[in-house]
Amino acid sequence: MRKTIAMVLVAALGVTGCGAHVSEGDSGAVPAGYPVTVTNCGAPLTVRRPPSRVVTNDIGITELMFALGLDDRMAGYVVDQGQSGGIASSPWKGDFAKVRKLAEKINREVVQGAGADLVFAGWNYGFSEGTGFTPDTLRQLGIASYQLTEACRNGVGKQRGIMPPLDALYTDLRNLGKIFGVSDRAEQLVKQYSAQVAAVEGAVAAGRQRPKVFLYDDGRDQPFTAARNAGPDEIIGKAGGTNIFADLDDSWTTVSWEAVVQRAPDVILINDYGGEVGTVADKENFLRSRPGLRDIPAVKQGRFFALPYAALVEGPRNASAVQSFGAYLAGLSR
């Protein structure tokens, strides 16, 4: 949900919201270059000084902080047991070992206990009205929030996504760079990731038929998949494929098996949770056994490809995911 009020972080542990004026006497001198203001999910977020006790939720969000070299600004992170495999394979495994894991589920008690001055999470990435853990409730506790841009709500119910997924990644990198005073590092990462993606996209043969791809996250009665505002949509597209649910204006969402069968994907991209939410083999076996699915091109031809969860949600592994999937799709056309 978009906010039109400013959230002002005035000190390491102090927050003033609702567009309040911040006086120069608040909590000492303002560091050089501050305050800074960024736009986050359509609302201004102004910080008076760099946050120093950040709590992150989910692996991709946490890896964004690590990629920017901000492990020393963190009070801890929250990931569930299902993401342990992703941590083991993470390029930032050493950072995960240095920073404290606070819990497997984020809530008010966890962030208050950590003395958080900023919580970096997102809708369905920790924030939820159902649990009562939202940016609004944190603001009432004097804790600021930064929301993952991929998961920003777009004003239609609880649908998420306000820009293409890779643009969301680059927006968050640049915003975090400004908030923490590491804009040079942020720009280096954006340049690096953009170049990686452009190289893959440029290698897709002109006129080559793009295979139709179904992202299978999980779900037996109904599949959970990626619509056009989720990371896999551009991972698929930049790699040379077409997401069969790119017409849905949402992020991660539930569809029907009938729709999957009707759209007849050529390839199935599997979200690999590292065995905690069904192994890749379990998911393949299920897809092979379900009536109707057995006859779609991807299953008949055995065209399955898996990427780890941390590479599919917004995060610094997205560019390498484009490279990996692009190589796979290129191999199919030979």
Residue type, 69: G
If asked whether residues 134 and 220 sit together in one domain, one would say no
Backbone phi and psi for residue 232, each to the nearest 5 degrees, phi listed first: -60, -25
If asked whether residues 122 and 239 sit together in one domain, one would say no
If asked whether residues 234 and 132 sit together in one domain, one would say no
Neighbouring residues of 246: CB distance < 8 A, sequence distance ≥ 6: 227, 228, 233, 237
If asked whether residues 218 and 118 sit together in one domain, one would say no
pLDDT attached to residue 1: 35
Q: In what order do the strands lie in the sheet with 43-47?
A: 14-17, 7-11, 43-47, 36-40
Residue 190 and residue 173 in contact, taking contact as beta carbons nearer than 8 Å: yes
Calpha distance 7→46 (Å, rounded): 6
pLDDT attached to residue 28: 65
If asked whether residues 142 and 243 sit together in one domain, one would say no
Counting beta carbons within 10 angstroms of the beta carbon of residue 147, is it exposed (0 to 12), middle (13 to 18) or buried (19 or more)? buried
Tokens representing 58 are 């989910």
Asked, for residue 75, whether it belongs to a domain, the answer is yes
Asked, for residue 64, whether it belongs to a domain, the answer is yes
Omega into 50 within 30° of 0, i.e. cis?
no
Backbone phi and psi for residue 100, each to the nearest 5 degrees, phi listed first: -75, 130
| Higher-confidence position of 320 and 21 | 320
If asked whether residues 30 and 106 sit together in one domain, one would say yes
**CA angle (276 as vertex; 272, 281 as ends), nearest 5:** 50
Cβ neighbour number for residue 81 with a 10 Å cutoff: 10
In order of 146, 175, 294, 304, the CA distances from 259 in angstroms are 35, 38, 14, 19
If asked whether residues 131 and 15 sit together in one domain, one would say yes
If asked whether residues 12 and 129 sit together in one domain, one would say yes
Asked, for residue 114, whether it belongs to a domain, the answer is yes
Asked, for residue 310, whether it belongs to a domain, the answer is yes
| Helix 165-180 vs helix 318-332: crossing angle, to nearest 10 | 160
If asked whether residues 143 and 212 sit together in one domain, one would say no
In order of 3, 18, 152, 166, 176, the CA distances from 313 in angstroms are 24, 31, 14, 11, 18
**CA angle (18 as vertex; 32, 182 as ends), nearest 5:** 30
Confidence grade of residue 208 (pLDDT, cut at 50, 70, 90): confident
If asked whether residues 276 and 210 sit together in one domain, one would say yes
pLDDT, tens only, 221-276: 999 999 999 999 999 999 999 999 999 999 999 999 999 999 999 999 999 987 66
Residue type, 274: G
Which of 147, 166, 194 lies at the terminal end of a domain, its last residue? 147
Asked, for residue 289, whether it belongs to a domain, the answer is yes
Q: Domains in the chain: how many in total?
A: 2
Share of the chain above pLDDT 70, in %: 90
Query: What domain range is 51 assigned to?
Result: 7-147
Asked, for residue 41, whether it belongs to a domain, the answer is yes
Calpha distance 231→321 (Å, rounded): 10
If asked whether residues 34 and 108 sit together in one domain, one would say yes
Tokens representing 246 are 């790119």
Tokens representing 42 are 């359509």
pLDDT attached to residue 29: 79
Calpha distance 195→26 (Å, rounded): 43
Cβ neighbour number for residue 4 with a 10 Å cutoff: 8
pLDDT, tens only, 30-74: 899 899 999 999 999 999 999 999 999 999 999 999 999 999 999
Asked, for residue 228, whether it belongs to a domain, the answer is yes
CATH number of the domain that residue 232 is part of:
3.40.50.1980
pTM, whole model, 2 decimals? 0.89
Asked, for residue 30, whether it belongs to a domain, the answer is yes
Calpha distance 244→259 (Å, rounded): 9
Calpha distance 275→132 (Å, rounded): 30
If asked whether residues 141 and 14 sit together in one domain, one would say yes
Residue type, 224: F
pLDDT at 182 > cutoff 90: yes
Task: Look at residue 275 and give its three-state secondary structure.
Answer: strand
